[in-house]
């Protein structure tokens, strides 16, 4: 940073008053301030400043430590993320969305492998998707959770089995208030948003699973409820199905969803979008909601292939799988329309 020198004054016709000690002190103080500003600017440009800002820290379960972009190297793909003493610096400024953890607007928390978490330019890549899971964050692509294995300055982030979500290593605060979060009015975004909200509710309190399941199924007896979940989400998003098995909106048969006003796309050559419904050829059909689009989408769905111990029925799940023996293979996508 170049500091301009003050312009020299033209000679005056009158005599200058003698300089006082106070004036000299003021000039010394001003010079020190300018030097301090120059040093601060230099530190910021070199990514080593921890100056206070109005950032939004993501606090680790390890007391006094926060998620930290090492040396605040913004727009530096591959810069690793650690935990550091909470200080409200730019390096600790994070924004939470329903599916991503963003830094400085353009960078996102990204999974490289189980032992390396960094930041990269934000995208729909499943390596950057994070869903709230209890007190932690799960990456659906790996099925593993964001972990700070130990406390201490500079401890690097890793992925770990989601079995210690209440422990300091996997606990992250604060979180979005999902109960009061208002989803967008756009139909596709509202569908994905409400699907994520239900996922978070399901994960947050296992004791509520039976009441949630009864909402999705219209209090029906045991059934494979993946299609019920889709119809419930569309109803919650302001676009109930125009026909169905219960109350004009519920639908428990995955094969019938295609007749509910969607736009059909063969899976071959189609890039799924947020809010789409993916259809898999498992037994009588299986459907999942796309919460993050792209060639490698992320889904939330009712999974009857596993049993939830509190209900004796299926469990809610999230993944990025397009072909699985228990769920079948993706056949086509259904895009929501205003007539759905």
Q: Which two tokens stand for residue 294?
A: 């792209």
pLDDT tens across 268-293, in order?
A: 999 999 999 999 998 889 999 999 99
Could you state, in order of their start, the residue ranges of all structural domains in the chain?
59-173, 187-335
Contact 115, 158 (CB under 8 A): yes
Are 198 and 178 in contact, with CB atoms under 8 Å apart?
no
CB-based contact 107:75 (threshold 8 Å): yes
Provide the pLDDT confidence category of residue 68 given band limits of 50, 70 and 90: very high
Rounded distance between C-alpha atoms, residue 247 and residue 215, angstroms: 12
CA nearest neighbour of 208 among 244, 179, 180, 168: 179
Distance from C-alpha of 57 to C-alpha of 269, rounded to nearest angstrom: 41
- pLDDT for 331 equals 96
- CA dist., res. 276 & res. 274, Å (int): 6
Specify the pLDDT at position 339. 60
Q: Which of 55-59, 168-172, 231-235 has the lowest mean pLDDT?
A: 55-59
Give dist(CA 290, CA 216) in Å, integer.
Answer: 18
3-state secondary structure of 97: coil
Taking only the tens place, the pLDDT of each residue in 126-148 is: 999 999 999 999 999 999 999 99
What tokens were used for 58? 């993501």
Confidence at 175, pLDDT banded by 50, 70, 90: confident
Cβ of 143: how many Cβ atoms within 10 Å? 14
74: pLDDT strictly greater than 80: no
The per-residue pLDDT for range 110-128, each reduced to its tens digit, is: 999 999 999 999 999 999 9
Asked if pLDDT for residue 183 goes beyond 70, the answer is yes
Q: What are phi and psi of 11, to 5 degrees?
A: -60, 140
- % the chain with pLDDT above 90: 62
Least confident of 60-64, 105-109, 274-278, 329-333: 105-109
Closest CA to 189 of 239, 231, 140: 239
Backbone angle region of 11, left / alpha / beta, with phi > 0 → left and psi within -120 to 50 → alpha? beta
pLDDT for position 245: 81
| Section 88-117 average pLDDT | 92
331 neighbors 268 (Cβ within 8 angstroms): no
Q: 314: helix, coil or strand? A: strand
Joined together, the tokens standing for residue 155 give 């401890």
Which phi and psi (to 5°) does residue 116 adopt? -145, 120
Topology of the domain covering 187-335: endopeptidase fold (from Nostoc punctiforme) (3.90.1720)
The CATH class of 59-173 is mainly beta
pLDDT of residue 326: 74
User: Percentage of the chain surpassing pLDDT 70?
Assistant: 82
What confidence category does residue 317 fall into, taking pLDDT thresholds of 50, 70 and 90?
very high
Compute the half-sphere exposure of residue 317: CA atoms within 13 Å on the CB side of its CA: 22
C-alpha–C-alpha distance, residues 8 and 20, integer Å: 20
Give residue for tokens 């895009």: 335
């Amino acid at each position: 940073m170049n500091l301009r020198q003050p312009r020299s004054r033209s000679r005056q016709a009158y005599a200058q008053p003698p300089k006082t000690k106070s004036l000299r002190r003021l000039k010394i103080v001003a010079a020190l301030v300018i030097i301090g500003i120059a040093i601060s600017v230099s530190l910021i440009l070199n990514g080593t400043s921890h100056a206070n800002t109005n950032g939004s820290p993501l606090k680790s379960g390890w007391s006094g430590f926060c998620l930290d972009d090492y040396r605040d190297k913004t727009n530096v793909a591959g810069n690793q993320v650690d935990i550091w003493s909470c200080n409200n610096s730019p390096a600790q400024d994070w924004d939470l969305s329903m599916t991503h953890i963003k830094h400085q607007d353009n960078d996102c928390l990204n999974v490289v492998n189980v032992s390396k978490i960094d930041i990269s330019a934000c995208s729909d890549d499943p390596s950057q998707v994070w869903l709230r899971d209890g007190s932690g964050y799960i990456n659906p692509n790996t099925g593993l959770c964001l972990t700070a294995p130990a406390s201490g300055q500079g401890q690097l982030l890793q992925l770990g089995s989601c079995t210690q979500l209440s422990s300091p290593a996997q606990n992250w605060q604060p979180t979005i208030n999902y109960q009061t979060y208002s989803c967008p009015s756009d139909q596709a975004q509202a569908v994905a948003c409400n699907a994520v909200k239900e996922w978070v509710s399901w994960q947050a309190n296992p004791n509520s699973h039976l009441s949630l399941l009864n909402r999705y199924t219209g209090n029906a007896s045991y059934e494979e409820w993946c299609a019920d979940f889709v119809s419930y989400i569309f109803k919650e998003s302001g676009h109930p199905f125009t026909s169905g098995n219960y109350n004009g909106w519920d639908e428990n048969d995955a094969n019938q969803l295609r007749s509910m006003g969607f736009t059909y796309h063969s899976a071959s050559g189609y890039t799924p979008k947020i809010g789409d419904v993916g259809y898999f050829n498992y037994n009588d059909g299986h459907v999942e909601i796309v919460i993050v689009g792209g060639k490698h989408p992320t889904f939330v769905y009712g999974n009857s292939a596993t049993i939830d111990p509190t209900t004796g029925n299926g469990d809610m799940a999230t993944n990025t799988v397009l072909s699985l023996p228990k769920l079948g293979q993706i056949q086509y996508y259904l895009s929501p329309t205003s007539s759905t």
